[in-house]
Amino acid sequence: MDSKKRSTRAHCGKGKFPTGINLLRDPILNKGTAFTEAERDALGLHGLLPACVCSLDEQVERVLVNYRRKTSDLERYVYLVNLQVRNETLFYRVIQDHLDAMMPIIYTPTVGEACQKYGHIYQRPKGVFITTNDRGRVAKVLRNAPCADVRIIVVTDGERILGLGDQGANGMGIPVGKLSLYTACAGVRPSQCLPVTLDVGTDNEPLREDPLYIGLKQTRVRGELYDELVEEFVQAVQEVFPKALIQFEDFANRNAFRLLQKYQDRVCAFNDDIQGTGAVALAGLYAAPRLAGTRFADQKFLFLGAGEAGIGIGDMIVGMLVEEGLTPEEARGRCWFVDSRGLVIKARADLNAHKLKYAHDHEPVADFLSAVETLEPTAIIGVSGQPGSFGQSVLQAMARFNAHPIVFALSNPTSKAECTAEEAYRWSDGRAIFASGSPFEPVSHNGKIHVPGQGNNAYIFPGVGLGAIVAESRLITDEMFFAAAKALAAQVTDADLAQGRVYPPLANIRGVSAVIARAVAAIAYERGLARREQPEDLMQDITAQMYQPVYQSYV
């Protein structure tokens, strides 16, 4: 066999190219029944496979037949995960060809249920678990990862999984799902992706008492020991995978803001819940006034929830308003927040540091409906995890003083959404401009079909990661997320708006990600952050590097 073809992937940079049963057990190289007769001869596969040689298209059809036989979304999730750990090319071909149907299964909302039951459905290892028992040897643990050229790491400590709270080590479902989207939506090579969970225990007592729980059965480590483990992990990544981007995912507020502040200017890292959510929401909010016939600079935003997502979105809005000509003080004055104790105002003595910049002079307001009635915002943004909190009274109030109220119910999973698409359209008499964090089906109201937008971070983070890989950027900056948001908003067409969409169709996501990657990489080159020489044609370079789920010939 041609040695060059055998080294197509260089077996992730580890060891010799496998043959025989070891090849069939390698998810990146395995082709299953698609191995040709010549490949079976050369690679010691005869007798290990049935006689039929199938095409990739035929394998996809077999997968779909079995997928459709499953009777629940969780069963479909388990089936797809098992396919991924068996044959990644086939997995990504299925996902890429059927992204609208598959994304809600491999990620939100189904991934939420999968995390809650992760110990019960766990079958084969995926990713790296680093525990508090690994202090002093984290770099050694990372070297056990199956691939040597890792470029994207998604890491969680499992404390704030979606809107479901502390899921401990079960939170591994989130990094696995996010990295699947890096590949499906932006063409980042599977061999360059590594999911990591920092298992520091869990304060979820039912989990600790569950005999099938897969993590450390202890309360969470906090304080100095926690910080030491995170620091060792970050340093170990620089040592073992020096070109890797670290994406912090689903950390609780108490750690998310300070870890981002600590590491953002030191290493190539970002927090998707803060920056990714901020960018994708900004893109939708920037497109929405086009549909309403108003200007972005004239909007007033009221948030329900003042955690990572809310503050991240607020910061992005302020940046855009400043670009539109407002001062930073004027821009922050357009963003109001309601948390569990009411309207965020200067007179309150219970505010965390990240809320203080959005604390305004105002009389106390106890609840969200009262805040809507008092402030008369043009847009309400739900990031609270409180289902149904945008009730009939809230939506009818918004419709009373807005011709086209902007309603973004962004909490995940679907069960945590502040309202459904149908509720938003019905209680606004079909006039709402709606987007959600999880998908909703189109809604018919008064003879018109409304297509809800999904403010899914998958519109942003895969393109950001691809851009960082292409440029080999040393840092991920706020400017890059701002550019990503503008690039996404620019791809919303008049035809999208006519359907009520404030985001492009998911079917276009790879093209969208490539445009975002170009914007991000361009900033890396302009700011001197790139470790790779700038190509003459940046877009051509990006598309050439995007992974395509097709089989390679090994002979």
Angstrom distance (rounded) from CA 198 to CA 127: 11
Question: What tokens does 202 get?
Answer: 């869990």
Q: What is the DSSP letter of 148?
A: S
The reply to whether 178 belongs to the active site is yes
Say how far apart CA 441 and CA 113 lie, in whole Å.
Answer: 20
Q: Which sign does the torsion angle of CA 116, 121, 127, 130 carry?
A: positive
CA distances from 137 to 126, 127, 245, 438 (A): 20, 17, 21, 39
Which candidate in 178, 243, 355, 416 is catalytic? 178
The CA distance from 211 to 207, in Å, is 8
If you search the block for the tokens 């000509």, which residue do you land on?
A: 325
Q: Is the dihedral of CA 26, 27, 29, 30 positive or negative?
A: positive
Q: Which of 67, 77, 92, 107 is catalytic?
A: 107
At 133 the three-state DSSP class reads helix
**Distance of CA 322 to CAs 3, 319, 326, Å?**
56, 5, 5
String of DSSP letters for 6-18? HTSSGGGGSSSPP
Task: Output the CA–CA distances (angstroms, integers) from residue 254 to 9, 267, 378, 385, in the order listed.
Answer: 41, 21, 31, 17
- Residue 66 CA to chain centroid, in angstroms? 27
Q: Are strands 448-450 and 443-445 parallel, antiparallel or unpaired?
A: antiparallel
Location of structure tokens 């308003």: 321
The radius of gyration computed from the CA coordinates of the chain, to the nearest angstrom, equals 24
Number of neighbours of residue 119 by Cβ within 10 angstroms: 18
The total of other beta-carbon atoms located within 10 Å of residue 8's CB is 14
145 vs 195: CA distance, rounded Å: 10
Please give the structure tokens belonging to residue 339. Answer: 């948390």
Q: Measuring CA to CA, how many Å separate 46 from each of 36, 37, 543, 555?
A: 10, 8, 37, 15
* Strand blocks (E) in 37-157: 128-131, 152-156
Cβ atoms of 110 and 164 within 8 Å: the answer is no
Enzyme catalytic residues: 107, 178
